Structure formats: C-alpha cells, structure tokens
Amino acid sequence: MVRSGDLNRYWIRSTDAMPSDVVIETGELTKTYGPVRAVAGLNLSVGAAQVFGFLGPNGAGKTTTIRLLLALQRPSSGSSRVFGLDSMSDSLEIHRRVGYLPGDLALYPRLTGAQHIEWFAGARGGANRADVGALVERFGVVTDRPVRDLSSGNRQKIGLVLAFMHRPELLILDEPTSGLDPLLQYEFERLARETVAEGRTVFLSSHDLDEVQRLADRVAIIKSGSLVATDTVDGLRRAAPRRVEVVLPGPAARTGFDSLVGVKVVACHDHRLALEVSGPIAPVLRAVADQDPVDVVIRHADLDELFLDFYRGPSTP
C-alpha cells in the first residue's frame, strides 16, 4: 500500500499479500487531456474472486481508469491488463469476459428494456434465457416500455441486467447502485456477493462509502489520478488512528494530552474531549483515568471518516 504526505502514519503500510490470481493490473497507467492528468502513473492490482471497491471523489480519475481498462480510451502512457491480456490489443477477448455498467448509463430512448436485452445478448452471441429472466425478476425490471418513459432507477436496473446477464468473469461497475432504492441496493449487494462466491470478480467504483464498507473485500483510494491507498477495509481501519471520545465531569482541557506521543486533540469543548490516537493507547488511558471520566468510547474510524480525513489532507505529489 502506498501513501505519501502527512497522513503517511496510517496509510503507508504493506498489508495482506495480493491474491495470486490477478484479474486487473495496471502499470504506471497515465491519461492526460491536454494539461490535465486524469490518471497519473496508476499502479493497481485486483485479485480474483473478490469485491474490489474503487473510491475517490468526482474527478479523481475513477471513470477514466475504467474506460482505459476497457479500451474505450487510449492511455497516454503505461499499461493495463485484464485477465493478463493487454487492454488495447486484446480488447475483444476482454470484452467477451467482462460485464460493464457505465457510471453515466445512457440507453436508446426509443427501445424498451426487452429490446435492449435482446440486442445486447445477440451482440454477445447469446445469453442464457433463464439467467436473464431471473435477473429481470430479481430487480423488477420494466421490460415493455421505452426507456425514455422510465425513471433513472428503472434504467439503472436495465443496465445491471445488461452487465450481469452473460455471467461474466469480471464485472466492472461504475456507481452501480446510483438511483436504486434501498431494497434494490440490498438486492444488488446480495448479487455481488453471490457473484464473488462463484469465483467471479466485482470491481466497483462508488461514492457510497457505507455500501463499499459493507461489500468490498478490498478497496483502493484514488486521488488526483494516483493510487494513494489499497487494502482491506479492516486493514485501513486498523492502520488508521483510533478515535477516543471522553466525557468528563468538569470542563474538558487539553492539558496532559497534547504532550502524549501519537495523540492529537481534535475537539475540546464543554465536557467533551475527542482524541485521535495513532500511538500506544495505554498512556492515553492513564491520562484519561486521571480526569475521572464519566464515559469513554474508543473505536476505529469508519471508512467515510478515513476517506474524508484523507481527502482533507495535503495533495499527493
């Protein structure tokens, strides 16, 4: 895992070994649009049979990376391989084995869901009718009305069917639950888990950090086109500072905490004190005990806190 800047204390760390079957691998992948570097020397490795969460805010380079993997765009430099095949020269074989849901899904307004499914299945050389039917039923897809008459959520359901219907080895999904209601989001998560249980791989980019936290086996965080962290969600949380929240009987004071190694006072007002602890916890507990606390909560940061903390940090070079 790689991380630079002041937040290195919890981002630079080598953790779990990569799974042996690498499905996606990029090497110094770069894409520029004039002076703008959308993807900047990205080195990414995604193992098989897992849900891999690809995180980053708008403009971080997630969608461009996905388009480079699928040869929808040409890299300025570097390489990307899917199933060990070159994204550009072997794109046809890759496309056969991948299901793709774009982030800004656009369908043909005058065609119905059924016509889309039929046409895409034909272009793929056919799809199992039972599989398609099961997906349509599972997501309650409206198949008999023109897409222009459907809500964005109903269009997204068609997109999910198009991505999953041929049982691809790898699913590349850009914001897959965008526009779906909570019940369908849950159904999508079940489907993703079932897919991984069958040995297939799900690569998803998402803004929904709760969803990624629930679903992803590993995550990568991209900032300004560069990979800045990749690990399991638990690994990231373990590596991050713990949050210690203390309620005191009297007015809270920083005294005694500022001098502790690896401790940062992030809030101190009224009777409440919040600490970020990246060093040993025992001295902190002793200092807290000296204050005769009313309540103490110690927890690892959630993914959204890590994400926000990370993005508020300094830019990577």
Give contact residues for other proteins (rule: CB under 8 A). Answer: 67, 70, 72-74, 92-93, 95-96, 98, 100, 102, 104-108, 120, 123-125, 162
Q: How far apart are CA 30 and CA 27, in angstroms?
A: 9
Is there a contact between 39 and 64 (Cβ–Cβ < 8 Å)? yes
* Beta carbon of residue 170, minimum distance to other proteins (angstroms, whole number): 12
**Smallest separation, CB 190 to other proteins (Å):** 24
Q: How far is the CB of 96 from other proteins (least distance, A)?
A: 4
Considering the complex, what minimum distance in angstroms separates the CB of residue 80 from other proteins?
Answer: 14
In terms of CB distance, is 75 or 241 closer to other proteins? Answer: 75
- Residues 246/295, Cβ–Cβ less than 8 Å: yes
Residues near 149 by Cβ (< 8 Å), separated by ≥ 6? none
Q: Measured from the CB of residue 216, what is the shortest distance to other proteins in angstroms?
A: 23
- Please, what is the minimum distance in Å from the beta carbon of residue 126 to other proteins? 12
- Distance (Å, whole) CA 66 – CA 290: 53
User: Do 4 and 13 meet the contact criterion of CB atoms below 8 Å apart?
Assistant: no
Q: Measured from the CB of residue 49, what is the shortest distance to other proteins in angstroms? A: 22
Q: Which is nearer to other proteins, 204 or 277 (CB)?
A: 204
Least separation, in Å, of the C-beta of 31 and other proteins?
9
The count of other CB atoms within 10 Å of the CB of residue 188 is 23
The DSSP bridge pattern shows strands 22-33 and 77-82 to be antiparallel
Residue 103 or 283 having the CB closest to other proteins: 103
Neighbours of 250 (CB within 10 A): 10
**Closer CB to other proteins, residue 10 or residue 54?**
54
